[in-house]
Structure 1
Amino acid sequence: MAVSNGSWSVGDADQEEAARKEFEIWPLDESNVKLLNQVHPRTYKSTDEPPEVYDLIAIGAGAGGLVSSKQAGRRGAKSAMISEKLAGGDCLNVGCVPSKALIRSARAMKEVSRAAEFGIHLENVKLDFGAVMKRVRELRAKIAPVDGHEATEAAGTNVFQGRGRLTGPNTLEVNGQTLRFKVCVLATGGRPAVPKNIPGLLGAPYTTNEQLFNLQELPPRMVILGAGVIALEMAQSFALLGSKVTVVNRSSRLFASKGGDAEAAEILQNELEKDGVIFLSDATVSQVETIKGSADPSSFPLMKIKVADQELDCECLLVATGRAANIEDLGLEAAGVDFVPGKGISVNDFGQSVSNPSVYAVGDCVANVPRLTHMSGEMAKVVVQNGLAGDEWRLSSFVVPAVAYTEPEFATVGIMSQEQADKEGIEVDVYRAGLEHNDRAILESSNVGFVKIVTKKDSDEILGATIVADRAGDIINEISLAMKEKIGLRSLGRNIHSYPTTGEAVQGCGLQFINKSWTRFDQV
């Protein structure tokens, strides 16, 4: 079991300052106190003495570290996890969890603004942004215990709170103590990649997702650098809540660099523009000028952003230009672990370091893998099975969906589009079922979008899909399962779907494939 000596508490000015400086968490209210006491108690020590050799040690306490160490512990292995900052990683603390809570409030605001369309007339609607963010903090604290140290210890895993560094092929050091391992899982995650070549940016009071969810007042004006998933989700949310939001996109359209579907990009941008988001495409920032800084995290700075011949004033500059792997100061050289500077650790198809077979890596610290929470979790299961059970589960067998939780949602898996297939030299057929005639979408007044399924040319073998629709993230799972289990598009067309559901559009694509070879009765 574990000992927590000293708790975070409300009303302690020194603790408030420590939480802000060490973990960029504020305010230190009841919810954030509950969070910190779960994921980083002020002092923490496992009462269990470490064994001579651990079967598995995970460095990192995000999805990859939690899943690998806890699964190993539950299955009887001598397991440990090293947590330097906040257990739960980005997903719990500054990513998936708080962002989806905020998105829900933004969606509620949109529903209120559209209420008259549904015969409901509201008066005196008022936004309480402080209450919106209080709810975000409360829900994050409610979810936190599952990722907390107590739950990890209960799963049979020792928790060390500190920084872990490899010191040799099978050793590491934490808090001055040397631990030996048979398998080490590096799960150190990633961080926002901030451009270094924009004059004035690095010295400006910019924001990333790591600070965004501490806001207690709504910024009147927000400029977002980047047009990826985080950028789009937050752009729409803050615009719906009342900020004037401008997105600066270096590309000519959304998702262009990844071969994303052009029609999906157009629909999504149009829908966000209807919600008040301003897009500057084919645009780059030439300078960031700080007009007024702010040492007080509860007050806004003022910045001037120069984009081509425009100057944009804003109180919040959100940098969402990609992610960088956390691989510095890990002792990789001492352990003989190969890595690609700026990209991450090099692993083989089993999740194993290409240069040290005792070391595995999962999640955002790995080079050239999708940086998604569910990807980290699945990689962790693979390395436990391969590293401890001697199996050969392969990363290349993964079918990994991705979702942008905008409204409508944007979901993809595999080959996303004709454009991507052409770039990769793959011959495909694309089946499209639009939502303009989908009864559920019509009844919900949300019939903008489609399901597109990409198959191998002249075959029903599914290679991928793109969906733009309400709950696209739920609908994509049917297609992901079909791909994983080699279920063809013909079978999806013959699968009975509940009526009325937006998911019938998947069946619609399948029926299009079937109809190509229908027997015509006038020719019998």
Structure 2
Amino acid sequence: MAIIGAGTAGLAAERAARKNGASTVLIDPAFAGTTCATVGCMPSKLLIAAAREAHRIGRAGLFGIDIDAARVDGPAVLRRVRAERDRFAALTRESIESLPDGVAIRARARFTGPDRLLLDTGRIIEARAIIVANGSAPVLPDAFAALRDVAITSETVFELADLPRRLAVIGSGAIGLELAQAFAHLGVEVALFDRADRVANIRCPKVQATLRDILERDLDLHLGVGVVARKHEHGVHLSWSGRDQGDGLFDKVLVAVGRHPQIRGLDLDRAGVELDPRGVPVHDRATMRCGDSTIFLAGDVAADLPLLHEASHDGAIAGRNAVALPAAVRSDRNTRFSITFTEPTLATIGDAEADGAVTGTADFADQGRSRVEGRNEGKLTLYAAAPDGRLIGADLIAPAGEHLAHILAWAIQRRVTATELLELPFYHPTIEEGLKQALRTICAATPLPLPQNQDAGTPAGA
């Protein structure tokens, strides 16, 4: 088996194929570490951790704690981000170095046939199956690429020597939201722009409105606008128009308008697989196989769900099925959920539509534990299927949102009803108690009665 790409998906695919008895080669031009460790999950969370600490200190007065004016040392913040990032990346590289001799091949590969690869070293690889797992890269439109050093992406932002004074962020997806708010909490003047009228992939209007209110407190938010950028002697000048219009001067512009699969240079037209309009091979997510070929996809290159846990699952499925050829081992996919590490945390889980669907919403403005901690803001909406109130999805922006999201994703995947979830113990006082308000609304809208151990009259803040 030949695997192209040594990121999260490629490593999982190689591991699964070898575990199931295959002889493997893992082809990568750099073996620098996974996207998550080097430019994605971990460095962004390191920056967010610094931002949350600065934000927390700035709110100490709420609790009667008098702290002298704190100062954010931008170079020190970014030095720690890079140092810890490099540590995580080194750990990933160590796992690659532990592969059996001959498995890792440092090269670039392209197809010359359905079962044949030509490496830029001149070597030819013939394989019974080939797994393409070479990831994705940030989209940088030409207009922003022309700005050169003043335009940064999620892959270059962590190389900044210091925090900019003013930062423009283009794109309000997960990456744009996380980094925009983090920089704002570190004292940077931030403006966030998007052509869309809505922020992120939030389906519930109440959660969407709460998210916007929170963002507008931290930064300048411009939705439904187009942006024109030109380089300026002091950075970059932006002008925008649409739902509102204006212009401004910024030190840097962070372009976060999405990522594209790294398919260029693979010569997929020689692989004998059907390509979709984006040039990505058409594939079955239950097997990750491309049609009836011996070619599989895994991870971001598949352009399905660009999330680490999905990439790892993709790789395991592809590796197992590559060995099983010509049999197909179909896998149930996990409940879809994504978490955006804003403050509070934003998450979207599962589905929002079903025949006779009902909803229940919880407001964290007066939720007991949230108020105790001074984090009492946010909303959560649950979606459930009639007639039994089985949970099918959720949208939320809430304190401890990443933990609430996991609880709900697990409950949805296990096909739990609102009544069944309410029958489980909720310790007091915890933020998890905030789920009760939404669950009770769903129970009231479905034929099944409230659990006997639940008092529907308990105040939200208790």
Q: Report the alpha carbon displacement of residue 519 of structure 1 after superposing the two structures with TM.
A: 8.1
What stretches of structure 1 of length at least 5 have no aligned partner?
1-55, 293-300
SS of the residue corresponding to residue 475 of structure 1 reads helix
What is the TM-score of this pair, normalised by structure 2?
0.89
1:86/1:93 contact within 8 Å kept? no
1:363/1:379 contact within 8 Å kept? yes
Q: 1:519, 1:188 → 2: CA distance?
A: 50
The amino acid across from 1:67 in the alignment is A
Name the structure 2 match of 1:399.
Answer: 335
SS of the residue corresponding to residue 209 of structure 1 reads coil
Q: Report the alpha carbon displacement of residue 457 of structure 1 after superposing the two structures with TM.
A: 2.9
1:181 aligns with 2:127: yes
1:92 aligns with 2:37: yes
* Correspondences of 1:394-473 after superposition (within 5 Å): 394=330, 397-416=333-352, 421=353, 426-473=355-402
Cα 1:141–1:177 change in 2 (3 A) is: same
Name the structure 2 match of 1:201.
Answer: 144
The amino acid across from 1:260 in the alignment is R
Match of 2:231 among 280, 283, 290: 290
Q: Report the alpha carbon displacement of residue 153 of structure 1 after superposing the two structures with TM.
A: 4.2
SS of the residue corresponding to residue 122 of structure 1 reads coil
Q: Would you say how many aligned residue pairs link Structure 1 and Structure 2?
A: 442
Name the structure 1 match of 2:214.
Answer: 271
Name the structure 1 match of 2:203.
Answer: 260
1:403/1:409 contact within 8 Å kept? yes
Q: 1:218, 1:519 → 2: CA distance?
A: 52
The amino acid across from 1:218 in the alignment is L
Higher relative contact order (CA 8 A, sep 6+): 2
Q: Quick check: 398-407 or 479-488, which moved more? A: 479-488
Q: 1:408, 1:463 → 2: CA distance?
A: 23
Q: 2:266, 2:443 → 1: CA distance?
A: 54
1:280 aligns with 2:222: yes
Match of 1:307 among 240, 252, 258: 240
Name the structure 2 match of 1:25.
Answer: none
What stretches of structure 2 of length at least 5 have no aligned partner?
453-462
Q: Report the alpha carbon displacement of residue 410 of structure 1 after superposing the two structures with TM.
A: 0.5
Cα 1:354–1:144 change in 2 (3 A) is: closer
Cα 1:340–1:141 change in 2 (3 A) is: same
Deviations 1:232-273, CA, capped at 9 Å, x for gaps: 111111111121111112122313xx4622222221222122
Q: 2:141, 2:154 → 1: CA distance?
A: 15
2:21/2:323 contact within 8 Å kept? no
Q: 2:451, 2:168 → 1: CA distance?
A: 57
The amino acid across from 1:106 in the alignment is A
The amino acid across from 1:68 in the alignment is A
Cα 1:438–1:78 change in 2 (3 A) is: same
Cα 1:212–1:520 change in 2 (3 A) is: closer
Cα 1:468–1:393 change in 2 (3 A) is: farther
SS of the residue corresponding to residue 229 of structure 2 reads strand
1:78 aligns with 2:23: yes
Q: Report the alpha carbon displacement of residue 343 of structure 1 after superposing the two structures with TM.
A: 5.8
Cα 1:500–1:334 change in 2 (3 A) is: same
- The CA RMSD over aligned residues, in Å, is 2.3
What is the TM-score of this pair, normalised by structure 1?
0.79
2:17/2:322 contact within 8 Å kept? no
Q: Report the alpha carbon displacement of residue 479 of structure 1 after superposing the two structures with TM.
A: 1.6
Q: 1:463, 1:201 → 2: CA distance?
A: 40
The amino acid across from 1:357 in the alignment is S
Q: 2:223, 2:135 → 1: CA distance?
A: 30
Deviations 1:316-342, CA, capped at 9 Å, x for gaps: 111111121111111212221222243
1:429/1:454 contact within 8 Å kept? yes
Cα 1:349–1:110 change in 2 (3 A) is: closer
Q: 1:230, 1:117 → 2: CA distance?
A: 30
2:165/2:189 contact within 8 Å kept? yes
Q: Report the alpha carbon displacement of residue 511 of structure 1 after superposing the two structures with TM.
A: 3.6
* Correspondences of 1:86-485 after superposition (within 5 Å): 86-148=31-93, 150-156=94-100, 158-174=103-119, 175-196=121-142, 200-205=143-148, 206-255=151-200, 258=201, 260-275=203-218, 277-285=219-227, 287-292=228-233, 302-308=235-241, 309-342=245-278, 344-355=280-291, 357-367=293-303, 369-389=304-324, 392-394=328-330, 397-416=333-352, 421=353, 426-485=355-414
1:306/1:312 contact within 8 Å kept? yes
Q: 2:170, 2:331 → 1: CA distance?
A: 32
Q: 1:395, 1:345 → 2: CA distance?
A: 19
